Chains A and B, each alone.
Chain A
Amino acid sequence: AFFWLVSLLLASLIWFISVHLSDRDNAKLQYGLLIFGAAVSVLLQEAFRFAYFKLLKKADEGLAMISEDGRSPISLRQMAYVSGLSFGIISGVFSVINILADSIGPGIVGIHGDSPYYFITSAFLTMALVLLHTFWGVIFFDACEKRHYWCLGLVVASHLLTSGLTFLNPWYEASLVPIFIITLCTGLWAFFTAGGSFCNILKCLSCKQEDDSRVMMYSALQVPFED
């Protein structure tokens, strides 16, 4: 969360400077600067996610070195999940808490011609964003670990795409629906990256006790997790 905040700070600094250096009255220019600011912010967020990955990797190595069996108590996958989740939470909270605070007070939504569905769509968008950050975190860390740089590029591109789609608000059909589709796809991708599979789901749902004859198969199934 701290890293996300720092990235947001830097991005706002850049936007602030650019706004102050430009012509305040030109609405189109201001809107363009806003788009530029948002893009810079997305790129900075991903950069700081990478920085956080590096930091956690160092910590992971340190933990592994001083632990008994040479493995750190927290796996990199768990760290990826936690990092993604915290990015998502702080990003979601920053996006939505002022809206929530305003929604308590007296007022009418969209009285000046804006969409009356502002609150509910904000809620859905925030939810999608939080989930997306979590999934991106998992995929990102895994891609960095395995050096699949095309995965990294895809994550950054999907983040930019999501942010760009929000520019289509209030045309909610064009923005909300694709964003939810992206969320689903990213979720599935993250699930398979983290080692999940159809068999695992079945096993989880059935909650059966494994009998001895299946021990070998179980441990074979577990191997992907332990890497």
Chain B
Amino acid sequence: MITFTNNSDSEEEPCNERTSLMSAESPPVPSYQDGLPASEAGEAQAHRKRRTGSSRSPNNIADGDMSDSGVPVRESALENEEEELTLKYGAKHVIMLFVPVTLCMIVVVATIKSVRFYTEKNGQLIYTPFSEDTPSVGQRLLNSVLNTIIMISVIVVMTVFLVLLYKYRCYKFIHGWLILSSLMLLFLFTYIYLGEVLKTYNVAMDYPTLFLVIWNFGAVGMICIHWKGPLQLQQAYLIMISALMALVFIKYLPEWSAWVILGAISIYDLMAVLCPKGPLRMLVETAQERNEPIFPALIYSSAMMWTVGMAKPDAAARGPSRQMWDAAEDGRENHRSPSHTDSQMSETRSPVPTRPITSFEELEEEERGVKLGLGDFIFYSVLVGKAAATASGDWNTTLACFVAILIGLCLTLLLLAVFKKALPALPISITFGLVFYFSTDNLVRPFMDTLASHQLYI
């Protein structure tokens, strides 16, 4: 799930509360135009090429400003500037998302290639009970499809549960759930990861040092993610927990099931976000009715606002997990839903006090942010990690999947700019990734290997 936010420098705004509300409710792409007085006038302008659906929230703000800026020339000038800003920020946003996604993938691929633990088969999750050690291909295929069905139904049930909890305002439950889930990720999984890395490089570490390191890492992580912290640190922690989650999935999902699950997840994502009766859409609508931000800490945000301007202290609400993997599932689920929520709710904005035209200059200094759900990070990394783990030691496949996913992300951002509403980030990227994985592994690899053995270049 990808959304855009408009984030203002809270120090310049008279009221922090208003800033956070504004930022929380900023529309996905019209955030570029957010508050710009000419955004509404632009409809009539000749230069309006791509602002098809922009009549929504920007106009709530722009309405009040229209009375002030009656000069069409001024409007068109502002309009052009705004379009240029949109493009500049559009490109900037693409880069702002490329970097964390790339970093997450690099961490996962580096771990997979060096630490043997994550490629060994040591059992399966309870969510994928059917084994793939069957003699016949048909049986194996059937088992993987059954595994997928079970996994997806678990995810759907969790999402519906979350929606119900949110609908009946059980905020404390949700918060507790999310906190427990991130506790587990930050402490237990990090401990296992560190243990395996130390084993691989044959480095000795005594328990007191280990305890100190993990305690500090985990405590700072909890504070950064759930409360306040420097933006870069929060981003780094989110990337690390996404990488850890992805590594767990890569280790514990059997081969064929992993690929079928990836495909099924992207279809589910598509339906859950775009269908009117999808659970995520309902979550979003409920949030809109209540006019409040939901679970912002489960989304990777590239903007300043979330750590500074949020009125609510704990943005994240992670549920309790009875079993180890429950929380993993829920965590991933919540990753997607909040992002949808945030974007959707930002569209229907409540009446916001009008801003004077001079705020345009202020806006130019504002940080405009892009938000991507952590679930998307996780599944991108799972795809690339699986490609690195199982593609017969071939780096070409990994690179091809990497490029495919980034291009998919780029296209999704482009669609976001065109449609201006919450979009699922998984389908396009995962489709490209899967197509490129299978075709590179089976078609390109023999070709390139044969060429390389004769030292031929094309």
Q: Which residues of A line the B interface, CB within 8 A?
A: 1-2, 5, 8-9, 11-13, 15-16, 19, 34, 37-38, 41-42, 45, 62-63, 65-68, 73, 90-91, 93-95, 97-99, 101, 118, 121-122, 125-126, 129, 162-163, 166-167, 169-170
Contacts and interface: CB of A to CB of B under 8 A. Distances in A.
B401 to A, nearest CB: 10
Interface stretch (B2-10, B231-239, B241-249, B436-444): B436-444
Nearest to A93: B399
Nearest to B403: A1
A95 B454 contact: no
Nearest to A98: B395
Nearest to B83: A66
Contacts of B451: 34, 38
Nearest to B46: A65
Contacts of B404: 2, 5
Contacts of A101: 393, 395
Range class of the B interface residue count: 35 or more
Contacts of A163: 456-458
Interface of B: 47, 49-50, 80-81, 83-84, 87-88, 393-396, 399-400, 403-404, 407, 436, 439-440, 442-444, 446-452, 454-458
A42 B451 CA distance: 13
B interface, over-half SS: helix
B443 A16 contact: yes
Contact of A97 (B50, B396, B449, B458): B396
A59 to B, nearest CB: 10
Contacts of B456: 34, 38, 163, 166-167, 169
A125 B394 CA distance: 21
Contacts of B452: 95, 98-99
Contacts of B443: 9, 12-13, 16
A37 B458 CA distance: 9
A42 to B, nearest CB: 6
A41 to B, nearest CB: 4
A9 B455 contact: no
Nearest to B410: A2
B84 A68 contact: yes
Contact of B455 (A42, A122, A129): A122
Contacts of A162: 457
A111 B447 CA distance: 23
Contacts of A65: 47, 49
A16 B446 contact: yes
B84 A97 contact: no
Given A5-B400, A8-B444, A97-B399, A63 B87 contact: yes
B325 to A, nearest CB: 34
Contacts of B442: 16
